[in-house]
Structure 1
Amino acid sequence: MEIQPMTVQKFTLKFAIASLALASTAVIAEPIKGEAELGIVATSGNTTTENINAKLKLTTDTPNWAHEANLGALGSSNEDADTGVDQTTAEKYFANYKADRKLDDRSYLYGLTTWEDDRFSGFEYQATTGVGYGYKAIAEEDKTLSFEIGPGYRYNAIDTTQAIAEEDEDEATLRLGERYDWKFSETAELNQYLTVEGGEENTISRFGLALKSALSGALALRVGIDVKHTENPAKDATGKEFDDIDTETYATVGYSF
């Protein structure tokens, strides 16, 4: 598989364009709260690497509705020691939108849609949509714990330049979700989530854990880990399966507005 070089400028441009697109099309009513995160690691010397992690989150909360939209991009490249050419080792873009219709202080109905383009997964993109019911088992000022369940639909577009498959994958799914948020001090909070989307052909699970600490004013530091498990990953041209577990460990600086 031929890997094309990716520069910081190209990556940043893609993220900026996608951010503008999300901001101009998101149907979220005022008032809107947002948080932009950026993490960059660059090394030089014996090894030259570039790692970029950028995220944008928009939320709003009214008496009847809660909306959340997320956009992100992840990229990593390193310089080949023999040729001196930059090679992309990771490149992923994602976007999702979720709307909750509140029934009371604890119960709600939700609708969501997600899109992900991971260049090194064997899929051109993966998209899901779904609806369901959610319940907040804990609904306190400093902590919340919610559970969700509902039907959905998943479409996996095969990347024919990387993977071998007769056709794209599409199937009905059952989604289970859990989310825990705990603000354990005036300046720090813990965020954790777990989702499982099961279908007849594949089951995809995601787990995330992050710690956020305020720095100064609207700035905050976030460190965390995201794990994705694909029960039946795509296969490359040799018939070998792509990795079934993808892990992202990150540290970003965020700005709230």
Structure 2
Amino acid sequence: MRLVACFLFGCFCTPLYAKDLIRTLYHAEYTPDTDDEIPRFTLDGELGVLLNSGNTSAASIKAALNADHETQHWSNVYFAELLYKESGTATTDREVSAQRFYTTAQFDYKLVEKGRRLFMYGDYEDNRFSGYEHRASLAAGWSQRLWRDEDSEFRYSIGPGYTFLEAEEDNDSLVNDGIIVRASAEYRYRWTSGARLRQFFSTEAYEDNTKSRSETSLSANVFGSLAMKLSFILNHETDTADDVEALSTETSVALVYQFF
């Protein structure tokens, strides 16, 4: 099944970008997208902290870095996130209930036709309560920004790849390494007040498991480079360990600071 999916993807996408790729290689001095500010590099830092004491004792920390890098020939996105939670009661010690490190990077190489790109993607996740010691994915393929105007933009990417999984010792039933097809889509909207909406969705499908992630966020400026951000994240897998839920949700409120 997975080989058929990859074959169909190749048959569908190759005619779309092969011509653009050839033209790009023979036109090294092509004009980049006119609506991009080049060069450009932005970096945002996000921090959310919750501390409880009394009958219930709890601590939660979420920190993230998000960077966009725009050059004449490349459009790159970098992301890293750290989540840590522990809780207890007046009669019990605190126990760790969540501990995750997650990072991704995507590199889009611009073709001659406006908005059309080839992408390379990689991610790494270390989640203490997922049933895996760690997991990583690599993918490459076709990426396109369908539109970008003063208010909104939409882009997507799709391509084959490979996932690297290492299950915990007591979870031998979980899937291991394998070929995947990865697809993602992102929509952004900005109001005149400066408030921003972002909807992101990605899925990695392979023969024995499909992993999907949805992130909806709304941010509004507080003052200067400081903003308040509300996020809602859904993670779903079709095949998980016996003691791990297939669907997990996360709602957070954090302060975001734009360094530059």
Could you say whether these structures have the same fold, taking a TM-score greater than 0.5 normalized by the shorter chain as the test?
yes
Q: Distance in 1 between matches of 2:215 and 2:47?
A: 18
Quote how far apart the aligned CAs of 1:91 are. 0.7
The 8 Å contact of residues 174 and 239 in structure 2, kept in 1 or not, is answered as: no
TM-score normalised to the size of structure 2? Answer: 0.81
- Which of these residues, 69, 93, 96, is aligned with residue 88 of structure 1? 96
Superposed, 1:88-107 pairs within 5 Å as 88-103=96-111, 104-107=113-116
Runs of 5+ unmatched residues, structure 1: 1-28, 235-239
Inter-partner Cα distance in structure 2 for 1:252 and 1:167: 34
- In the aligned structure 1, how far is the partner of 2:96 from the partner of 2:224? 35
Q: 1:178 and 2:185 equivalent? A: yes
Q: Is 1:123 the counterpart of 2:125 in the alignment?
A: no
Confirm or deny: 8 A CA contact 1:155 1:168 kept in the other structure: no
Equivalent in the alignment of 1:19: none
Residue number in structure 2 paired with 1:148: 157
One-letter amino acid of the counterpart of residue 251, structure 1: V
- Of 24, 38, 44, 1:35 maps to 44
Deviation at 1:44, TM superposition (A): 1.2
Which residues of 2 match residues 231-242 of structure 1 at below 5 A?
Answer: 231-234=238-241, 240-242=242-244
In structure 2, distance between residues paired with 1:120 and 1:89:
8
1:250 alignment partner, one of 227, 249, 252 = 252
* TM-aligned CA deviation for residue 31 of structure 1: 4.8
Task: Please give the alpha-carbon distance, in whole angstroms, between the structure 2 residues aligned to 1:132 and 1:141.
Answer: 28
**Offset of 1:76 from its aligned partner?**
0.8
- Match in the other structure for 2:218: 211
Q: Unaligned 5+ residue runs, structure 2?
A: 1-37
How many residues are treated as equivalent by the alignment?
221
Assess if the C-alpha contact under 8 Å between 1:106 and 1:139 holds in 2. Answer: no
Q: Deviations over 1:108-156 (max 9, x none)?
A: 1110100011101111111001001112222213211112110011111
CA-atom RMSD, angstroms?
1.7
**C-alpha distance in structure 1 between counterparts of 2:219 and 2:254, whole Å:** 10
